[in-house]
Every structure is written in structure tokens, then in C-alpha cells.
A and B are shown apart, each in its own frame.
Chain A
Amino acid sequence: MKKGVTITNHNYVFLFYDIADEFSEKGKYRVAKVFKICKKYLKHHQKSIFRGNITPSNQLTLEKELKKVIDKDLDFITIIKVLNSGSFEEMTIGTQKKETESIFI
């Protein structure tokens, strides 16, 4: 590693995806594929939003897997990386049917 370069480890992410499923049959398959990949690593929060703790190495594999599946010209995925689950504040409006972050099921 170069001197003076610090690498920050991000251990918590939010992932949003928009898959272009309206234009073609193929798009629908891609939605399912992206969903399958995400649920391996993260917790399902809202329809197209995942969130949760993740290790930096798992983050890279997740990115790699997603890149294989999506259509780069049509689809849109955002990953917001934060340091840990303590580094943001959260508020909710309305009802949340499932508490995905809870350690109890």
C-alpha cells in the first residue's frame, strides 16, 4: 500500500435498484436475478431496496455478481456505503410490515 493513502472500510450498505423490466421480457428475468443476488448478502427492506451489514470483501463479490447480470445501458443500481449501522439516523413514516433488521423472527 502507498504511504499516506488510507482506505476506509465500509461495513454497511443501502442498495437501490431500478431494472428496466417494462420494455422487454428479458427485463423481468433480470429483476428476479438481481433480487436473488441481493438477498444472499443483504436484508430486504422495501420492494427494490436492500440494506444491511456487509464485509468489504462481500461487497466486492456482490458488485461483481450484479455486474454480470444487469444490462449496463438500461438498468440502474445504486449502492450507498456507510461506515457502520451507527453512522446514520433513521426515521420511518407509515407501517413496516416486517422488521427485517430485527434479530428475532
Chain B
Amino acid sequence: MAKNHTRYIFSMGELKRKDNSIAFINEKGNFYIPIEDTREIYCINEVSFNTKFLDFVAKAGITIHFFNYHGNYSGSFYPKDYLVSGTLTIKQSIVFIENRLNIAKNIVKTIAANIYEVLYHYYRHDKKELKPVLDWLKNDADKFISKDITIEQLLFIEGQIWNRFYDSFQYFLPEDFVMNKRVKRPPDNPINALVSFGNTLLYTKTISSIYHTHLNQSISFLHSPGEGRFSLSLDLSEVFKPVIVFKTIFDLVGRKQLQVQKHFDKNLNYALLNEDGKKIFINAFEERINETFMHPKLKRKVSLKHCIKLDGYKLIKHIVEGREFVPFSLKDKM
């Protein structure tokens, strides 16, 4: 898969429309971004542009994501919906009212299964302390979810799953990176910073993927819809978090490619990645999300990024045809 569909702008400058293509101009000179070969642009630094540029980019269907000085996600430029379907939106709402719990259950089940897969790798490599967590994930979590529960109870179980996952980090990550408690907005230690940054990246990638389907971004099933963000994106990205975000983190930390002293901002108590750290993380993240494997059903190679979109299609199938929605599972690779 072509990896370079995404550009990350780390330097200050101006984005401009120039002769039916994009030019990024800074003190180093002009830098041309081929319009036909770009799907997303991430603005990590201060970038200026005008409406002429936005109009042009919108026509090409490119989404632009913005991050503030602290690396927090501030929003996306989202071109006019080109795939609009009233029928699907109506049906999506009906399914939300009638069948929300089932979809949410399937998502939580798959989260547990994917976390199990990720942790099992470490269990197989002599981290026997993980046994209780694995057993809990495999037996108890599944049992709870299968019971007749409300959505609040389901969300509680989801929280439990994540908490147990975070607690298990102490068995295989170096001491600097052990997570005592998941802290968000803002994160307060290196591992929390990595998780937040990774989740944000995945969330934006999912937004771009859903943009290319007919789904309505604001009607979600696991998260309660309508909180001023695209909550369907949160839903669909959830099962990919262990597969994409956490595996990337474990890899980079385990191989000492990311180090607390070198790649985090000292002034902020090491709670923020510095530029080098961000670049290393993004590079690994892009590599993982574009990694291809044989899809057992499609019988061709697909990337994880494409799988996010395929999950969108599966959801559409469920909404329109009533086929069961089974999110991407790491074990089956589909």
C-alpha cells in the first residue's frame, strides 16, 4: 500500500493553492504536495491558509486535522459530505433505538478479544503473571457481556477491561513507562501521553475513513451520541486501539526507540512528547496502519487502515440488511 497518502506538517508556514496543486511555503522554500496522491494532512505546527485553498482541498476530498501547541487535537476540516444518504441516516437512527445494545455488546466483546490477543503474545514469551488477566478477559468478561445487561453496565465492563489492561503493563514494560492510572486531559506521565497521542491519531484516521462511507458520523452505538464530536468514530476506533495504538507503543518502548529522557518534554514532567518523539511515534504508527495482510474473505491484501473502512461497511450491512455486526478481530484478521 502506498504509505504516503498522509502528510504531517511539523514546520511553520503557509499552505497554498498553486496551479491546481498544493504548495507548502516556508522560509526553506516551496514544497509541493501532489494533490492526487494525498488523502489527509495533519497540521501539527502553526500553518496558515485561505478559503481559496480550503475550497480546492474540499473538491479533492482531502481532510485536514489540526493540533494545538500542546499536541491536543483541536478539530478537522471536513469537506462537504459527498456520500449522503437520507435512508441510511434514518435507518441508522432506528437501529440505534432498537438494537443499540447488541452492537455495543459486539464492540466490547471484540475489544476484550483483541486485548487478549495482544497480551497473549507476552504470556507466550514468559510473562506468566498475565495469566489471571487473560483468564478474566477470556471467561468472565465474555460471560458478563452475554448476560442481560443495560448499556450503563456494559460501559462499566468496558471500563473494567481497559483498567485491567492498563494494570497489566507493569509486567512487561520498563519501569519508566508503568501506568499507575489512566489520566486524560491533560495526561500526566509518559505512558499516558503516548496513549492519548496514539488514540487521537487513530480517532482522526477513523474520521477520514468514515468520511468515505455513507454513515452518519454523529450516531454512535457504544458511546452516547451527540457530545459535540464525531462519536461514531470513537466507536469504530475502539476495537483497533489494542491492535494499532498499543502494539505500536509496546514495540517502541520495548525496543527502547522511545525513551523518557530523550523523547519527552522535561519541563512538563515528561508528560508530553517532544518533536523527535512525535516523529518516531507517527512513523511507527503509519507503518503499522499501512501494513498489509491477506484478508481471508476478500482474498486479497488489505491494510489495517482499510479494515477501519471495512468495519464501516459492515456496520452499513447491519443497518440495511440486518447482518450481524462483528468488528475487526485480530485473531481472524477480518
Contacts and interface: CB of A to CB of B under 8 A. Distances in A.
Contact of B37 (A42, A98, A104, A105): A42
B35 A40 contact: yes
Contacts, number: 64
Given A39-B34, A40-B20, A41-B37, A105 B2 contact: no
B80 interface: no
Most buried by B among A84, A100, A105: A105
Contacts of B283: 103
Contacts of B19: 36, 39
B4 A52 contact: yes
Interface string A30-61: 00000010011111100000001110001000
Contacts of B36: 40-41, 54, 58
Contacts of B279: 104
Contact of B24 (A11, A103, A105): A105
A52 B286 CA distance: 17
Contact of A52 (B7, B11, B37): B37
B31 A52 contact: no
Interface centre among A36, A52, A98, A104 (most CB of B within 10 A): A104
Interface in B167-214: none
B29 to A, nearest CB: 8
Interface in B12-31: 19-21, 24, 28-29, 31
Nearest to B19: A36
Given A42-B37, A53-B4, A104 B10 contact: yes
B8 A43 contact: no
Interface in B231-264: none
B32 A39 contact: yes
Contact of A104 (B8, B21, B32): B8
Given A36-B19, A53-B37, A105 B32 contact: no
A101 interface: yes
Most A-side CB within 10 Å, residue of B24, B31, B35, B279: B31
Contacts of B2: 11, 53, 84-85
A104 B11 CA distance: 9
Interface string A64-105: 000000000000000000001100000000000010110111
Contacts of A101: 4
Contacts of A98: 28-29, 31
B299 interface: no
A103 B32 contact: no
Contacts of A103: 3-4, 6-8, 282-283, 286
Contact of A39 (B3, B8, B9, B21): B21
Which residue among B7, B8, B36, B282 has the maximum number of chain A CB atoms within 10 Å of its CB?
B36
A43 B28 contact: no
A40 B2 CA distance: 16
Interface in B249-297: 279, 282-283, 286
A75 to B, nearest CB: 19
Interface of B: 2-4, 6-11, 19-21, 24, 28-29, 31-37, 279, 282-283, 286
10 contacts: A11-B2, A36-B21, A42-B37, A43-B4, A43-B34, A52-B37, A54-B37, A98-B31, A103-B8, A105-B7
